[in-house]
């Protein structure tokens, strides 16, 4: 009898353990909650439409927490109705009023006019695609039936190229923080004017062939949101080789060629500058800067669509990864990239710098 009781107890325990493990977690409810938490970050500046969330995967970490991989997508339309509503533009305008030299005023005004035109034509009133890969952690102690309600923004991470970043860092900067780079940009212009012009000797007029909007369109056409490292049809233009796990620079080179930048003996499929970032000293970054086609910048406000975004390690050294900027409305920047695949994904948190063409084809003017 005693032995039978033992057996019944053991069976009961197995039964309850099985029931615990099998208790369903509503992954789609978790994804929807993550979507609402993330879109809320943008709602001060943007009207959000077409918001959707898709569960990619669900697993457990070593601690037994539930990890749900989610891709959220939505359209952002600036609430600003004119370029002057944007804090960055306001920062530029304030700095302009402090200039007295007619040449400086003229150069700063030209930069401001170009920024305003880019904003008015490409961003104000234009819905911008946004795709973000997220990782949601449901702590092991959370009641499974209540998981979606229990999680908040602190349970959500943005899946970056090199590392995960707290999703709350996706929130656009405060107005003050967006104004300050505007003032800094005008200072950069006047400082450059104080030194002898180097344009004639360093800038290569071949860059005037580069149509940055066409390059942007190619980047969007041949990228996706599934985070894949491997060859797949949506991201493999059959005219080119696809390098599994290592296609980032090959992809950016294709964007530049489609934008009209002519190949030459050094930069063509599949030379080192075509397919590597340049950590070994002979990559796309060195090719573009040494040939006077693109300049290096750490100011993300300068990096308009068609610029290259370059990932850095935390110590500032190059991480060996590049993508193409496809949106920059001065509040949010997004990029497209390969391996892993990203399309119109906001940049946030991760350390990066930029390579920007000397010629702004959209404005039909030099950028420096």
> Which residues are near Zn ion by CB under 5 A?
224, 235, 341
Minimum separation from the CB atom of position 318 to Zn ion (A): 23
| 72 or 203: CB nearest Zn ion | 72
Spatial neighbors of 127 by CB under 8 A, at least 6 apart, are 49, 50, 75, 76, 77
Q: Which residues pair with 46 in a beta bridge?
A: 78
Q: Using the structure block, give the residue that is written with the tokens 């959707």.
A: 52
Q: Using the structure block, give the residue that is written with the tokens 């040449």.
A: 103
How many Cβ atoms sit within 10 Å of the Cβ of residue 8? 10
Phi and psi angles of residue 329, each rounded to the nearest 5 degrees, phi first: -95, 15
Q: CB-based burial of residue 300 (10 Å sphere; 0-12 exposed, 13-18 middle, 19+ buried)?
A: middle
| 341 or 345: CB nearest Zn ion | 341
| 235 or 352: CB nearest Zn ion | 235
Contacts 24+ apart (CB under 8 A), 191-194: 192/368, 193/103, 193/104, 193/107
Q: Which residues pair with 130 in a beta bridge?
A: 74
Look at residues 151, 126, 132, 43 and name the one whose alpha carbon lies nearest to residue 329. 126
The SS3 assignment for 89 reads helix
Structure tokens at 326: 């496809």
DSSP per position, 231-280: --GGG--TTS---TT--HHHHHHHHHHHTTPPP-SSSSTTSHHHH--STT
| 29 or 224: CB nearest Zn ion | 224
| 284 or 337: CB nearest Zn ion | 337
| 235 or 257: CB nearest Zn ion | 235
Minimum separation from the CB atom of position 170 to Zn ion (A): 21
Q: How far apart are CA 63 and CA 32, in angstroms?
A: 24
Structure tokens at 191: 């400082």
Minimum separation from the CB atom of position 343 to Zn ion (A): 7
Minimum separation from the CB atom of position 235 to Zn ion (A): 3
| 89 or 341: CB nearest Zn ion | 341
31, 55 in Cβ contact below 8 A? Answer: yes
| 331 or 345: CB nearest Zn ion | 345
Q: Using the structure block, give the residue that is written with the tokens 């927490």.
A: 65
Q: What angle do CA 34, 39, 43 make, to 5 degrees?
A: 150
| 150 or 224: CB nearest Zn ion | 224
């Amino acid at each position: 009898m005693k032995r039978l009781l033992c057996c019944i107890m053991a069976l009961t325990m197995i039964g309850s353990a099985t029931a615990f493990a099998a208790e369903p977690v509503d992954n789609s409810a978790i994804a929807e909650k993550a979507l609402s938490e993330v879109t809320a970050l943008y709602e001060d500046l943007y009207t959000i439409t077409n918001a959707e969330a898709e569960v990619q995967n669900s697993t457990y970490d070593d601690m037994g927490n539930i990890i749900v991989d989610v891709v959220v997508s939505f359209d952002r339309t600036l609430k600003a109705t004119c370029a002057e509503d944007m804090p960055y533009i306001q920062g530029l305008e304030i700095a302009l009023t402090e200039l007295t030299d007619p040449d400086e005023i003229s150069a700063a005004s030209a930069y401001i006019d170009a920024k305003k035109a880019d904003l008015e034509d490409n961003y104000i009133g234009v819905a911008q695609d946004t795709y973000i890969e997220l990782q949601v952690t449901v702590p092991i102690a959370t009641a499974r039936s209540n998981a979606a309600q229990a999680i908040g923004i602190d349970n959500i991470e943005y899946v970056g190229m090199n590392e995960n970043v707290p999703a709350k860092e996706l929130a656009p900067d405060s107005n003050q923080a967006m104004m300050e780079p505007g003032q800094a940009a005008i200072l950069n212009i006047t400082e450059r004017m104080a030194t002898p012009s180097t344009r004639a000797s360093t800038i290569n007029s071949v860059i005037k062939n580069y149509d940055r909007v066409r390059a942007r369109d190619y980047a969007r056409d041949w990228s996706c949101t599934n985070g894949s490292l491997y060859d797949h049809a949506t991201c493999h233009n059959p005219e080119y080789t696809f390098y599994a796990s290592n296609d980032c620079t090959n992809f950016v080179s294709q964007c530049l060629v489609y934008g009209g930048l002519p190949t030459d003996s050094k930069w063509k499929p599949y030379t080192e500058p075509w397919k590597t970032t340049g950590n070994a000293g002979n990559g796309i970054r060195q090719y573009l800067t040494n040939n006077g086609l693109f300049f290096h910048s750490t100011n993300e406000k300068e990096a308009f669509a068609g610029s290259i975004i370059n990932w850095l390690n935390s110590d500032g050294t190059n991480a060996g990864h590049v993508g193409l900027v496809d949106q920059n409305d001065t509040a949010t920047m997004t990029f497209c990239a390969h391996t892993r695949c990203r399309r119109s994904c906001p940049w946030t948190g991760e350390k990066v710098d930029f390579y920007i063409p000397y010629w702004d084809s959209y404005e039909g003017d030099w950028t420096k």
